[in-house]
A and B are shown apart, each in its own frame.
Chain A
Amino acid sequence: MAFATKSRTAAGRSTTPPGGGSPRRKRPLLGKNPFGLLLSAPYLIFVLAVFAYPLVFAFWMSLHDYFFAAPGADVDRPFVGLDNFREVLADPAIIRSFGNVGIFLLINVPLTVVLSLVLATALNKAVRFRTFLRVAYYVPYVTASVAVVGVWIFLFSGNGLVNQILGPLAPDPAWLINEDWAMPTIAIFVTWKGLGFFILLYLAALQNVSEELYEAASTDGAGKIRSFFSVTVPGVRPATVLVLLLSTVTGANLFTEPYLLTGGGGPNGASSSPVLMMYQRGIEQGSPDTAAAIGVILVIGVLILAFIQRKLAGGDES
């Protein structure tokens, strides 16, 4: 392979004399297929306008003393270097929000992967009520958080159903105003809410696992549990990488739940998240530069996590 490449390169060189003696055929500016470019342009524009431009702009904002201003307003936005990052990293509330989201991811991501894979496998085998069960798991995902938050506040309040069932084992103070339990409760809520989507991903992946593999495993004497670990888990590995990545990215962007379920990241910041801090600093308090710095740190953190996950979960194979 390497030799072939080398030969092609050598051959290529021999066709062009030094100094560019023979005139090269000029390529059209828009390539061979300008129509193809036209067809892909809307998506490219979308990516540039909705992802690339805001990302670059956010990075630029984080390096300036920036605030939103009326068009035409005479405002000074000097370059401040890494001042916004220093401010963010020196703020205990923001550091705590990153720690909180770390706790959230530690609970939410493994729980999501395990539960969605187990439930998807069970649903795949289920014959009766299959459609009903699939819809039942999917409904929380398509229901707005705002709508279900009220139910969870009712369930996990001091006099709520959960505490009534637990009786003397119930935590005091109650779940959502307990510094130790607020974030784990949110993690469980988010896991429950997103499960339907991830089950769907696994269900799709399970259709590609050949039935012959299960038959072969059975012939070799594997039971259901052994088949699950030896056939199902490796068979859906690409989906697992996707679930890991998506649950990490959506989890790192946690906002609605601490905003609504714990009344703004309470108690005492125990459930605040970096995105909630971005909202407070950027939108409520008019400091989008600080918010952008938090965002840049968050993006870097998520990229590092995604890289590690890809390495550990074997994303290269997918």
Chain B
Amino acid sequence: MITYLLRRLLQSLLTLLVISMILFGLISSVPGGIMSAYQENPDFTPEDLARLEAKYGLNDPAPVRYLKWLGNSLQGDFGNSFTSKRPALLEIADRLPNTMLLMGVTLIATLLIAIPLGILSALKQYTWFDHISTTIAFAGQSLPVFWFGLLLIIIFAVTLKGADGRPWLPGSGMATLGKPFSLVDRIEHLILPVSMLAFVSAAGYMRYLRSSMLDVIHEDYVRTARAKGLRERVVIYRHALRNALIPLVTLIGLDLPSLFGGALFTETIFAWPGIGRLYFTAALKTDYPVVMAVLIIYSALIILSNLLVDVVYAALDPRIRLS
């Protein structure tokens, strides 16, 4: 087990190294960048441009810049944002709580919707209920987020108004400006983005759970449990569901990094000041220290969560041996 973990960690580091090379190569080959903002401005003299290039470390060739970046990042310094001049990690830390709040609430909401619906539609296979929920799930999976988000905003934050003339729900940000913090206000701001994210991702979870549940309830041990004369409730929840949930662990585990990475479209549409939006604006401005920091941390978390899923799997299912 220990050797297995060590080997996997070592592999992960190599993977990360390759990922970082590819990402750095891609980002530095993108045209434009911070210097084009200055080159546009005739007030900036050639001496100014040279000074700024040196300041941002852009006067070295890409491989040299990569090695410098790698050396610094290994010591925990991902460089300073080109636009704010603050450390990239600080920019991320500022937004991390917001993203974790949004994605955490979303994950809980997703599970609260998906688990009961998944179980029920498996148990009531081919009934009206199954057909309706399956259709909705497919719709949810196929909805383009940027379109659906705008639709929600237009309906609930612009068109529908209460008696006081104010829209039902706020359509952007995470707090009403100029008012002291209140939990109600924060929840109101969470409703639209969370509903959208949960609707879209619950669809996937639900479909997964439904098919896994269908597999399980036709297993021999479920029939045995029924034959023993156990009550249906016990058969379903104690014998079938626990086994059916195992594949779900994979899904949840693989979704964990999104607690960090956030949701790019959702955060951008709803002006949620999280990491997805930070990444989006940084990418638009080719602010590559920030872009690299977000991508590398995100990649590391994905690799880690994969590892975590494998370990948890082994713990849940004694038949699986890690070697």
- Tell me whether A and B are bound partners: no
Report B's interface with A, CB cutoff 8 A. none
* Chain A residues engaging chain B, CB cutoff 8 angstroms: none
